[in-house]
């Protein structure tokens, strides 16, 4: 499959009161049509910044992003974003928030009843039918996040950009949403870039995992191809040696190579016992502990 999205030589400097802060440097990534790519890295390394540049919300200070042969200079409906902090309009209900996006994309192609059905379908997908009439102030953080996901999916975007979309969800809902996303993506062949802190989630969902080094001047440290057959089933994979190998590779990158920014391996002190405990439990849950 051909390259859909080309992130080329992207660098980002933010102006700060104490001078420019280099967040990113030399980010190079080509993403194919229909590919599912996860971005993983310690807190503050620059993952959201990369996503915002692809979304067209930030302009890179060097390099750029080409989507389907055209440079990205602004946001567009072919790139739907699920933000890290859900971004619903507070004066609209869950239903109306999704409706706004759906009308933006489908007003000309769908009749009114079709639009209504499509909104209902997407709210159902995220288990939010019962609260469709509630405003963001009346629902929990996880529920708001689910509405944000429904809104993005309902736009049937060519590229789906998700910033820790399932972080605020309980384990069961999270598993359900991951499975739904895999099904939707298999069906619609969306290209997805997802930021996650969850190693299991990254391995389960991704075709490739892009691991970022710590900032400042963060860049891509390693890219791991996840060569597991689809459809993927979490229970079957739990005992799969390839799955566990991938999982270990990502954990190793996060916990060892980049646990202490600015030091190379030879300079590092052995981790204190307390640290080991944290890392041990992180290994068990597959969650990234920010060791930086």
Ligand X SMILES: Nc1ncnc2c1ncn2[C@@H]1O[C@H](COP(=O)(O)OP(=O)(O)OP(=O)(O)O)[C@@H](O)[C@H]1O
Residue 205 vs residues 157, 180, 244, 262: alpha-carbon distances, Å: 18, 11, 14, 31
Among 11, 34, 44, 142, binds ligand X (CB under 6 A): 44
Among 43, 87, 140, 277, binds ligand X (CB under 6 A): 43
Binding region for ligand X (CB under 6 A) out of 40-48, 143-151, 180-188, 240-248: 40-48
For the CA atoms of 116, 122, 128, 130, the dihedral, rounded to the nearest 10 degrees, stands at 30
CB of 251 to ligand X, least distance (A): 17
Instruction: Give, as one character, the DSSP assignment of residue 170.
Output: -
Phi, psi of 41 (to 5 degrees): 170, 165
The CA distance from 199 to 283, in Å, is: 9
Applying the rule CB under 6 A, the residues between 194 and 233 that interact with ligand X are 215
- Return the number of the residue (14 or 91) whose C-beta is nearest ligand X: 14
Q: Which does 43 bind (CB under 5 to 8 A by kind): ligand X, Mg ion, none?
A: ligand X
CB of 274 to Mg ion, least distance (A): 27
Q: Which does 168 bind (CB under 5 to 8 A by kind): Mg ion, ligand X, none?
A: none
Among 47, 144, 232, 255, binds ligand X (CB under 6 A): 47
Please tell me whether residue 52 binds Mg ion under the rule CB under 5 A: no
Binding region for ligand X (CB under 6 A) out of 15-23, 100-108, 137-145, 202-210: 15-23
- The alpha carbon dihedral of 116, 121, 126, 129 has a sign of positive
Residue 206 vs residues 129, 221, 243: alpha-carbon distances, Å: 28, 17, 12
Helical packing angle, 112-125 and 94-106, nearest 10°? 130
For ligand X, the binding residues (CB under 6 A) are 14, 16, 21, 23, 41, 43-49, 84, 215
């Amino acid at each position: 499959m051909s390259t859909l999205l080309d992130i080329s030589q992207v660098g980002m400097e933010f102006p700060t009161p104490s001078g420019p802060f280099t967040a990113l440097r030399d980010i190079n990534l080509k993403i194919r049509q229909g590919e599912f790519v996860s971005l993983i890295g310690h807190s503050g390394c620059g993952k959201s910044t990369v996503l915002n540049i692809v979304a067209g919300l930030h302009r890179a200070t060097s390099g750029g992003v080409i989507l389907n042969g055209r440079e990205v200079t602004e946001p567009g409906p072919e790139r739907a974003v699920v933000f890290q902090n859900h971004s619903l309009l507070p004066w609209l209900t869950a239903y109306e928030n999704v409706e706004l996006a759906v009308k933006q994309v489908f007003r000309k192609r769908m009749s009114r009843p079709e639009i209504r059905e499509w909104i209902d379908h997407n709210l159902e997908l995220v288990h939010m039918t019962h609260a469709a009439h509630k405003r963001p102030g009346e629902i929990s953080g996880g529920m708001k996040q689910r509405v944000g996901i429904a809104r993005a999916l309902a736009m049937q975007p060519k590229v789906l950009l998700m910033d820790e979309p399932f972080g605020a969800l309980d384990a069961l809902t999270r598993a359900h949403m991951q499975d739904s996303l895999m099904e939707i993506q298999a069906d619609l062949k969306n290209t997805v870039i997802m930021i996650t802190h969850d190693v299991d989630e990254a391995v389960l969902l991704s075709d490739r995992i892009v691991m970022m080094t710590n900032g400042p001047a963060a860049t891509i440290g390693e890219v791991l191809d996840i060569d597991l057959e689809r459809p993927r089933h979490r229970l079957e994979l739990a005992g799969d040696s390839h799955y566990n190998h991938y999982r270990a590779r990502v954990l190793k990158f996060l916990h060892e190579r980049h646990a202490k920014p600015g030091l190379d391996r030879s300079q590092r002190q052995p981790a204190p016992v307390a640290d080991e405990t944290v890392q041990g439990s992180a290994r068990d849950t597959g969650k990234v502990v920010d060791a930086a």
